[in-house]
Amino acid sequence: MAQLLEHLSEDVDDQAQALCGWRQRYEQLGCGRFRGTAWQLVMNHGALLRESTNRSLREQIQPPPDHLVLAIPVTVAPGSVLAGRPLGRESLVVISGQDECELVAAGALDIIALSVHRDTLTQSLAASKIEWLARAERRQHLTLAPDAASAIRTMLLAVSDEALRRVDERVDEVDEARLISATLTQAVVLAMSGDGAERREDIPRRAETRMRVVRRAIEFMRENLHNDVGVMEICAAAFASRRSLQYCFEEFLHTSPQACLRALRLNEARRHLKRHGDRPITALASSLGFSSASHFTRHYKLMFGELPSQTLRTHAHAQTQGSAPALATGAALQA
């Protein structure tokens, strides 16, 4: 069962001991009273953790043995450095218990992380993703595209919040393993899609595999026509990098993932207009993720060659005409 560990400190040496199983040494560099917090949700296969400090620090960090850590800042002061490179909100930290890492926080730092036992890596990830992680671990610090970094940060925060809400429930080891595995997989997929320094093409060689990428993506899109989803979430659902997803859609559908999602939403809107003529077009457009009724109307006309209002009139007229014979028949029977 998951164990929640929480720590509040006003001393840097005490804060350095806050994370269970970690070897850390902190030196305070900035003037002022120190305050730090830490919490860990420790499970058999790994842990979710978050730490915040309020002063400039030099930190020597070494995670638990046989663990790999993916971490990303929630907030970070300009001028912070990790492994000799600037640490910012687009930074993904990939470190293990095999090597010590040095971090200099220029001020307040809030960082969230996923720590995973190495056995879980081989059980959860395909060989290509394990190879990418090995390269990322050697670099220790990756600068991601802003949307990829934001997606990873949002995902880790959401998973942590949900896990904390369920901490008092009796969750068995199998469910905990699934949580760690699913979070790891999604984080790696998002990181790979946003890693500008990664040069290797991650496009499946087999056509059947590429088609499965498209099918998984479209299935996810259909399930989220009324939700705010972007390319990073689609990549995660399709188990593909952004480059791979784009390639597969262009190969099989001759369009982009974004254009496909818009087309699916427009088709759903057309079906709704044909069935239900009483819902305002503005409300329908908003529910399907269009920024305005005019934006929706412009794309609708481009797609179908007519305005949404014309679709409404056409099908309202067809329904009226279709009901006339039934009324006549009813009158004849009464006669």
Number of structural domains, the chain? 3
Please tell me whether residues 42 and 126 are part of one structural domain. Answer: yes
Residue 325 vs residue 243, higher pLDDT: 243
Please tell me whether residues 213 and 233 are part of one structural domain. Answer: yes
| CATH code, 56 | 2.60.120.10
pLDDT tens digits, 142-156: 999 898 899 999 999
Q: Which residue has the tokens 């850390």?
A: 24
Question: Is residue 327 a part of any domain in this protein?
Answer: no
Please tell me whether residues 166 and 210 are part of one structural domain. Answer: no
Please tell me whether residues 194 and 209 are part of one structural domain. Answer: no
Question: Is residue 141 a part of any domain in this protein?
Answer: yes
**Domain C-terminal end among 254, 273, 295:** 254
Tokens, residue 215: 């099918």
Question: Is residue 136 a part of any domain in this protein?
Answer: yes
Could you tell me the residue range of the domain that residue 305 belongs to?
Answer: 259-321
Please tell me whether residues 105 and 224 are part of one structural domain. Answer: no
pLDDT tens digits, 248-296: 999 889 999 999 999 999 999 999 998 876 778 899 999 999 989 999 9
Please tell me whether residues 157 and 230 are part of one structural domain. Answer: no
pLDDT tens digits, 65-124: 999 999 999 999 999 999 888 999 999 999 998 889 999 999 999 999 999 998 888 888
Phi, psi of 46 (to 5 degrees): 160, -160
Question: Is residue 335 a part of any domain in this protein?
Answer: no
Please tell me whether residues 87 and 126 are part of one structural domain. Answer: yes
Q: Would you say 289 and 265 are in contact if contact means Cβ atoms under 8 Å apart?
A: yes
Question: Is residue 305 a part of any domain in this protein?
Answer: yes
Question: Is residue 126 a part of any domain in this protein?
Answer: yes
Question: Is residue 232 a part of any domain in this protein?
Answer: yes
Q: Would you say 86 and 76 are in contact if contact means Cβ atoms under 8 Å apart?
A: no
Please tell me whether residues 196 and 277 are part of one structural domain. Answer: no
Please tell me whether residues 188 and 273 are part of one structural domain. Answer: no
pTM: 0.61
Question: Is residue 333 a part of any domain in this protein?
Answer: no
Please tell me whether residues 142 and 103 are part of one structural domain. Answer: yes
Q: Looking at beta carbons, which pairs linking 262-270 to residues 24 or more positions away fall under 8 Å?
A: 262/299, 263/303, 264/218, 264/221, 264/222, 264/225, 265/225, 265/289, 265/290, 266/299, 266/300, 266/303, 266/304, 268/225, 269/296, 269/300, 269/308, 270/300, 270/304, 270/311
Mean pLDDT of the chain: 87
**Domain C-terminal end among 200, 230, 245:** 200
**Domain C-terminal end among 238, 254, 270:** 254
Read off the DSSP letter of residue 8: E
